């Protein structure tokens, strides 16, 4: 029994009555649950510095009322079969208090998947591919040490920073050392820290349109004015970035695999973007969230690897490559910005939890991460082939985009197909897919679905794609029952190539 009790010796209510009331109250509001063992009368009397008789009398009263049970010598317990007690509710202020008059944060779903459905949820990797033995060894290493009795460095554990720096140099052409890397609780915290370090209310921030809604929300929450910039088959349309006085302070981009359409920012545009940033005294936020998975050609060097002028902040994450539940990401920033990011990290949560950092350091140092990436790349490549095959028969009306990389694809639908009706039809047949609409800020979204295939087994990917292709065929049948389709014509600005499979 670990309950705060306090007795007022100046009160006119007797000590035994006060004790009895406090214990009864705790039983009634659920703080002392049915079956909880009560502290012995001797120990409780000692801790309250009262005579043992006071406690015995309070317990006797509660016995008599039926709240507690038990035999002398074998312990006293809260009665096990008390009728269900009313649920405890926290008090609420009446009306809207002064301290709740700021805009409420967005109420976002935390999506849980129904195991009976095949869920093409974007951003889910297949964690079953992780070698359980290597994983266990990394965690045993942590489990065999007691945690330190002090806070760690806000920038992150030294071994993990070194392991990330080495990995970035090898795989992404980003030359950095451990001191350049700041470990964060996921890429999203990195975006938030960058926003806090750089923005004042009203500052313009360019983001890709369509783009990553969570990043957009972070910038908005920090008071930014969002400037949507369109993307095409070469990624962000750099020549549409405002210049001069209208130039945004910061541009957020996903050059390796544009989120969510899947384009790769061409080398010409990479160089143009870097020179725009220098010309306009702006910062590029490069979110390299899933560059590990590129199937047909090696990835282009990261913008941060090409940057000569300290204009790029590079953000990476273990969410796609291992698991989003780890909440582990990192950021490499030009020195003056890095210093601010470290200070803000210290201010917000001191540092990312020590056990996760240490286990990941061991996992990477042992070669486990890169072995995992090689294995996972083969698995995802096979899955995307399965997905591509399934939609080939309907490719005139449903075209896959962005298959070359990552663990999701965009399925662009013929303009006459109603994406929402396809989603509902697929759902009735046991498949969940998302519309692309939410990823747009503006009003002219492309028509289509996002298929996150990363978290599915090969079999689920095959069955799910077949069900979805069938839903599209059925929807075509009902859409064209009355009006036969005109030839498939893309709208201007839409990628107009053959299916990218
Ligand atoms: C574009 C993009 N960036 C980053 C992330 C990952 O963020 P985090 O590391 O916070 O899980 C995601 C996950 O969906 C994403 O889609």
Asked if the domains 131-369 and 371-479 are classified in one and the same CATH topology, the answer is no
**What are 13-34's pLDDT values in tens digits?**
999 999 999 999 899 888 898 8
Q: Which of 244, 248, 243, 239 is nearest to 207 (CA)?
A: 248
CATH architecture of 15-78: Orthogonal Bundle (1.10)
Q: In whole angstroms, give the CA distance from residue 18 to residue 35.
A: 22
Domain edges within the chain: 15-78, 131-369, 371-479
**How far from 121 is each of 201, 341, 351, CA to CA, in Å?**
34, 31, 30
Q: Is the CB of 286 under 6 A from ligand 1?
A: no
Most confident of 22-26, 98-102, 427-431: 427-431
| Domain 371-479 bears CATH identifier 3.30.1490.190 | no
Residue 465 CB less than 6 A away from ligand 1: no
| DSSP category for residue 266 | -
Ligand 1 contacts CB of residue 254 (under 6 A): yes
Ligand 1 close to Cβ of residue 317 (< 6 A): yes
Is residue 248 within 8 Å of 283, Cβ to Cβ? no
Residue 479's φ and ψ, nearest 5 degrees, are -70, -35
pLDDT at 482 over 90: no
- The per-residue pLDDT for 300 is 82
Give the pLDDT score at 480. Answer: 60
276 CB within 6 A, ligand 1: no
- Alpha carbon 224 to its chain centroid, in Å, reads 21
Average pLDDT of the residues in 346-369: 97
Report the candidate in 376, 368, 341 with the shortest Cα–Cα distance to residue 185: 341
Which residue's alpha carbon is nearest to atom 7 within ligand 1? 187
Please give the distance, rounded to the nearest whole angstrom, from the Cα atom of residue 261 to the centre of ligand 1: 15
Q: Which value, to the nearest 10 degrees, does the dihedral of the CA atoms of residues 301, 307, 310, 315 take?
A: -20
Is 256 near ligand 1, meaning CB less than 6 Å away?
no
> Which class in CATH covers the domain with range 131-369?
alpha beta
Ligand 1 within 6 A of 255 CB? no
Nearest CA to ligand 1 atom 15: 289
- Give the E-state strand segments of 149-260 in sequence order: 181-184, 204-209, 225-232, 235-236, 250-253
* Pocket lining: 187 vs ligand 1, CB cutoff 6 Å: yes
For the chain, the average pLDDT equals: 91
pTM for the whole structure: 0.84
pLDDT digit string, tens, across residues 309-330? 999 999 999 999 999 999 999 9
Would you say residue 109 has pLDDT above 60?
yes
Note the helical H segments in 50-114.
Answer: 52-65
Do the Cβ atoms of 195 and 184 come closer than 8 Å?
Answer: no
pLDDT in tens, 330-340: 999 999 999 99
Q: Of 92-96, 449-453, 485-489, which one has max mean pLDDT?
A: 449-453
Residue 381: CA count within 13 A, CB half-sphere? 12
Confidence of residue 435 (pLDDT cuts 50, 70, 90): very high
Q: Return left, alpha or beta for 350; rule: phi > 0 is left, psi -120 to 50 is alpha, else beta.
A: left
Q: 191: CA distance to ligand 1 center in Å?
A: 10
Q: How far is the CA of 315 from the centre of ligand 1 (A)?
A: 10
Q: How remote is the CA of residue 98 from the centroid of ligand 1, in Å? A: 35
Probe target for ligand 1 pocket from 193, 317, 322, with the most ligand atoms within 8 Å of CB = 317
Average pLDDT in the 479-485 region?
55
Q: Is 291 in the pocket of ligand 1 (CB under 6 A)?
A: no
**Is any atom of ligand 1 closer than 6 Å to the C-beta of 125?**
no
Is residue 454 within 6 Å of ligand 1 at its C-beta? Answer: no
pLDDT at 304: 96
212 Cβ inside 6 Å of ligand 1:
yes
Statement: residue 493 has pLDDT above 80: no
**Is residue 1 scored above 80 in pLDDT?**
no
Cβ 262 under 6 angstroms from ligand 1: no
* 324 ligand 1 Cβ < 6 A: yes
Residue 488: predicted pLDDT:
41
Query: Given the CA of residue 212, which atom of ligand 1 is nearest to it?
Result: 1
Q: What is the DSSP letter of 230?
A: E
Out of 188, 322, 406, mutate this one to test ligand 1's pocket (max ligand atoms within 8 Å of CB): namely 188
Residue with tokens 């370090």: 197
Cβ–ligand 1 contact at 330 (below 6 Å): no
> Average pLDDT for residues 84-104, to the nearest whole number?
83
């Amino acid at each position: 029994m670990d309950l705060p009790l306090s007795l007022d010796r100046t009160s006119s209510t007797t000590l035994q009555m006060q004790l009895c009331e406090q214990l009864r109250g705790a039983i009634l509001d659920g703080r002392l649950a049915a079956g909880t063992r009560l502290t012995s009368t001797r120990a409780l009397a000692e801790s309250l510095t009262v005579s043992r008789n006071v406690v015995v009398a309070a317990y006797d009263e509660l016995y008599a009322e039926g709240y507690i049970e038990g035999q002398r010598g074998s312990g006293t317990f809260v009665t096990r079969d008390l009728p269900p007690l009313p649920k405890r509710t926290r008090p609420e202020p009446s009306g809207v208090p002064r301290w709740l008059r700021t805009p409420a944060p967005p109420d976002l779903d935390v999506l849980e998947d129904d195991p009976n459905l095949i869920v093409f949820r974007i951003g889910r990797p297949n964690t079953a591919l992780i070698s359980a033995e290597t994983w266990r060894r990394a965690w045993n290493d942590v489990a065999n040490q007691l945690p330190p009795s002090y806070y760690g460095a806000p920038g992150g554990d030294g071994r993990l920073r070194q392991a990330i720096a080495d990995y970035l140099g090898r795989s992404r052409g980003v030359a950095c050392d451990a001191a350049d890397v700041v470990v964060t609780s996921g890429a999203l915290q990195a975006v938030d820290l960058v926003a806090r370090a750089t923005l004042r209310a009203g500052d313009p921030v360019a983001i890709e349109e369509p783009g990553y809604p969570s990043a957009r929300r972070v910038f908005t929450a920090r008071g930014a004015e969002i400037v949507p910039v369109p993307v095409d088959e070469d990624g962000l349309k750099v020549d549409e970035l405002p210049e001069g006085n209208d130039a945004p302070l910061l541009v957020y981009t996903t050059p390796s695999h544009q989120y969510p359409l899947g384009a790769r920012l061409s080398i010409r545009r990479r160089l143009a973007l870097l020179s725009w940033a220098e010309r306009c005294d702006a910062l590029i936020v490069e979110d390299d969230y899933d560059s590990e998975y590129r199937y047909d050609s090696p990835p282009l060097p990261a913008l941060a690897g090409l940057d000569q002028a300290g204009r790029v902040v590079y953000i990476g994450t273990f969410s796609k490559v291992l698991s989003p539940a780890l909440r582990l990401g990192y950021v490499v920033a030009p020195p003056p910005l890095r210093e601010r990011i470290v200070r803000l990290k210290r201010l917000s949560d001191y540092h990312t939890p020590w056990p996760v950092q240490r286990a990941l350091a061991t996992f990477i140092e042992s070669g486990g991460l890169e072995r995992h990436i090689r294995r996972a790349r083969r698995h995802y490549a096979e899955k995307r082939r399965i997905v591509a095959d399934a939609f080939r028969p309907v490719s005139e009306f449903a075209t896959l985009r962005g298959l070359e990389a990552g663990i999701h694809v965009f399925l662009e639908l013929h303009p006459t197909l109603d994406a929402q009706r396809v989603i509902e039809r697929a759902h009735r047949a046991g498949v969940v897919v998302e519309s692309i609409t939410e990823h747009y800020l503006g009003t002219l979204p492309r028509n289509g679905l996002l298929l996150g295939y990363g978290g599915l087994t090969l079999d689920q990917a095959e069955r799910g794609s077949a069900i979805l292709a069938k839903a599209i065929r059925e929807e075509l049948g009902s859409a064209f029952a009355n009006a036969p389709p005109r030839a498939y014509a893309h709208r201007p600005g839409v990628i107009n190539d053959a299916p990218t499979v």
